[in-house]
Chains A and B, each alone.
Chain A
Amino acid sequence: MKAALAIANRDFRGFLGTPVGWIAACILFLVSGLLFTIVTNQLLLRGEAVDPVADIMGSLIGFLNYINIFVVPIFTMRVMSEELAQGTFRLQAGAPISSGEIVAGKFLGIMFYFAVISGLLLIYPLYVAVFAEPDFKVMSAGFAGLVLNIAAIVAIGLFISSLTQNAVISYLGSVFFIILFLFSAYVKGVPEWYQRSVNLLDLGNELSRGILKTSSIAIYVAIVAIFLFLSRLVVETKRWRV
């Protein structure tokens, strides 16, 4: 586990030591800031009663969940595909650590980064709290949903990017796969449990309305576990081929 934390720590610093981390953060803050201003203004101009949680934070988090489908794979492509292409993967592959530790480290590294970003996004609820009295329980559920969605996308992205050395293919492949994954809920005839499980955006919205169910959490945990396990398998085979 020490090695996993060492990898996570290195990757996390790596994001902040290169423009990638800062640009991605800029995109997220620019989009969320614009959206926050527009939504708030529109609602206030309309002069109706505003529910700060459902109307403002709900739409903000819902939109961020969309955006993350395109932002998160920027990180997953870096930690796997680029390392495979540049040969730095050999450093981990040649160390006396398990493939599980490598995957866990990569996963945690990206999660550390997004934990910081999500933490900074808390400025919006704090701002709302100055002017209204939002329900913090509901808002926390929404933020939990944001982080869980990121975790699911990171796990899927890690798996896709471990398959290829080409960062562009990795990025496009991850985005494409995640969209397919979400859309597979709408295929005719799929069982209901499946429909519910893969529709991460709906789950995220549900959470942002404060509907926190054990089953939703279980779905996220299962998705992360399945894709991390698949990544581990790929990494294990790659270790014999680099």
Chain B
Amino acid sequence: MIEVKDLVKLYGERKVLHGLNFSVGVGRVCGFLGPNGAGKSTTMDILAGLLGPSDGTAKICGFDVVTQTREVKEVVGYLPDNPPLYKEMRVAEFVHFVAKLRGVSAAQRKFAVERVLNDCDVTDVSTRLIGNLSKGYRQRVALCSALVHQPQVLILDEPTEGLDPNQIVHIRELIRKLAKDRTVILSSHILSEVQATCDDVIIINQGQIAAQSSLADVGTGKPSIVFSFADKLETALSWFKEKTFVSKAELFADKPNSLLVNFKDDFYGDARTANLAQVNSQLVQQGFGITSVYEHRTGLESLFFNAIKSQSSFVGGQA
């Protein structure tokens, strides 16, 4: 459980976090999206108790990151963007060492290490030197070190970086599995990854939250329909605007000779396909040359770009 209130971070004069507010509940995977330098890693460092906030509070499982740092570190498993690994150590030896540091009792240590090596799929390299491993393996060893003490809250900074597609799927499944009774927050700049793994998404840009949403709400709204025509675009536009079942019709900016049409709520329902077919046949009867018709969903991508665009224009307007 993570609660963040008015979190501010200053690096000297430079303000990198402008008062963040969010919370993530147990059993949720929260995706942290944002362009490079947005403040993702800074926020994660603060949550892991590795960086002091300049103002505001952050609580992990009810423990304050500033005043109860030790308790916070006990419940948090953190995978930073540049994972700390001792290159001269062997994989199992390293994870053992982290388990000791993390206070995993001697009786449970062997089992805990074996389980986490198995979970992250690195058992086959457990006796190899970390320095000799490929990037994907190193990333997974780092993940092992973040998971070995069974943390209640997982903070993962770009967990699938450097992994091949197969491993990405595996790690996603692992994160989903772990998230059942834990709180996970992960950062990424790969939209599809967040879409595949997370329950909630927080888009952060220039140290501010640009958008915050549950992924279930993203992209399930009523789809707009894009109609493309061979000619007579203006006439088609006025034809749509006259219809009572159309809520909005406009020129579609992303595709030439096309209209973006939103229909009223009762258009979408069980009879949606039939309705759409009827509109099409009417258009043909009117002599419009239709070249294509498809549904246009506003997904995470557009949420992301709109959030960042609107915010940068806002910031630009201020300046």
> Is A92 an interface residue when CB atoms closer than 8 A count as contact?
yes
> Is B70 an interface residue when CB atoms closer than 8 A count as contact?
yes
- Shortest C-beta distance, B67 to chain A (Å), equals 13
Q: Which residues of B contact A94 (CB under 8 A)?
A: 48-50, 73, 76, 78
Q: Which residues of B contact A2 (CB under 8 A)?
A: 100, 103
Q: Are B88 and A14 in contact (CB under 8 A)?
A: yes
Closest residue of B by beta carbon distance from A237: B52
How many Å lie between the Cα of A97 and that of B100 in the bound state? 11
> Is A123 an interface residue when CB atoms closer than 8 A count as contact?
no
> Is A240 an interface residue when CB atoms closer than 8 A count as contact?
yes
> Is A116 an interface residue when CB atoms closer than 8 A count as contact?
no
- Which of B79-87, B192-200, B225-233 is the interface stretch? B79-87
How many Å lie between the Cα of A89 and that of B100 in the bound state? 16
Q: Are A88 and B86 in contact (CB under 8 A)?
A: yes
Q: Which residues of A contact B88 (CB under 8 A)?
A: 14, 17-18
> Is A7 an interface residue when CB atoms closer than 8 A count as contact?
yes
> Is A3 an interface residue when CB atoms closer than 8 A count as contact?
yes
Q: Which residues of B contact A92 (CB under 8 A)?
A: 101
Q: Which B residues between 97 and 134 are near A, CB-CB below 8 angstroms?
A: 97-98, 100-103
> Is A137 an interface residue when CB atoms closer than 8 A count as contact?
no
- Shortest C-beta distance, A93 to chain B (Å), equals 6
Q: Which residues of B contact A87 (CB under 8 A)?
A: 80, 82-84
Contact with A along B34-71 (1 / 0, CB 8 A): 00000000000100111110000000000000000011
> Is A191 an interface residue when CB atoms closer than 8 A count as contact?
no
Q: Which residue of B49, B78, B89 contacts A17 across the interface (Cβ within 8 Å)?
A: B89
Contact with A along B139-163 (1 / 0, CB 8 A): 0000001000000000000000000
Q: Which residues of B contact A89 (CB under 8 A)?
A: 84
Q: Which residue of B74, B89, B98 contacts A14 across the interface (Cβ within 8 Å)?
A: B89
- Shortest C-beta distance, B83 to chain A (Å), equals 8
Q: Which residue of B70, B71, B84 contacts A90 across the interface (Cβ within 8 Å)?
A: B84
Q: Are A91 and B52 in contact (CB under 8 A)?
A: no
> Is A223 an interface residue when CB atoms closer than 8 A count as contact?
no
> Is A6 an interface residue when CB atoms closer than 8 A count as contact?
yes
Q: Which residues of B contact A86 (CB under 8 A)?
A: 84
Name the residue among A91, A94, A242 with the largest chain B CB count within 10 angstroms.
A94
- Shortest C-beta distance, B79 to chain A (Å), equals 10
- Shortest C-beta distance, B42 to chain A (Å), equals 12
Q: Are B84 and A95 in contact (CB under 8 A)?
A: no
Q: Which residues of B contact A240 (CB under 8 A)?
A: 50-52
How many Å lie between the Cα of A90 and that of B102 in the bound state? 13
Contact with B along A25-68 (1 / 0, CB 8 A): 00000000000000000000000000000000000000000000
Q: Are A96 and B89 in contact (CB under 8 A)?
A: no
Q: Are B80 and A95 in contact (CB under 8 A)?
A: no
Q: Which residues of B contact A17 (CB under 8 A)?
A: 88-89
Q: Which residues of A contact B102 (CB under 8 A)?
A: 95-96
Q: Which residues of A contact B73 (CB under 8 A)?
A: 94-96
Q: Which residues of B contact A13 (CB under 8 A)?
A: 89
How many Å lie between the Cα of A87 and that of B70 in the bound state? 20
How many Å lie between the Cα of A87 and that of B80 in the bound state? 10
Name the residue among B50, B83, B101, B145 with the largest chain A CB count within 10 angstroms.
B101
Q: Are A90 and B80 in contact (CB under 8 A)?
A: yes
Closest residue of A by beta carbon distance from B103: A96
Besides A14-B89, A18-B88, 12 more A-B contacts (Cβ < 8 Å) are: A2-B100, A13-B89, A87-B80, A87-B82, A87-B84, A94-B50, A95-B102, A96-B73, A96-B102, A97-B103, A241-B51, A242-B51
Residues of A within 8 A of B (CB): 2-3, 6-7, 10, 13-14, 17-18, 86-98, 239-242
Residues of B within 8 A of A (CB): 45, 48-52, 70-71, 73-74, 76, 78, 80, 82-86, 88-89, 97-98, 100-103, 145
Which 5 A-B pairs have CB atoms at the shortest separation, nearest pair first?
Answer: A6-B100, A96-B73, A240-B52, A96-B74, A95-B101
* 11 interchain pairs, CB-CB under 8 A: A3-B100, A3-B101, A6-B100, A13-B89, A86-B84, A88-B85, A90-B80, A94-B76, A96-B70, A96-B71, A239-B50
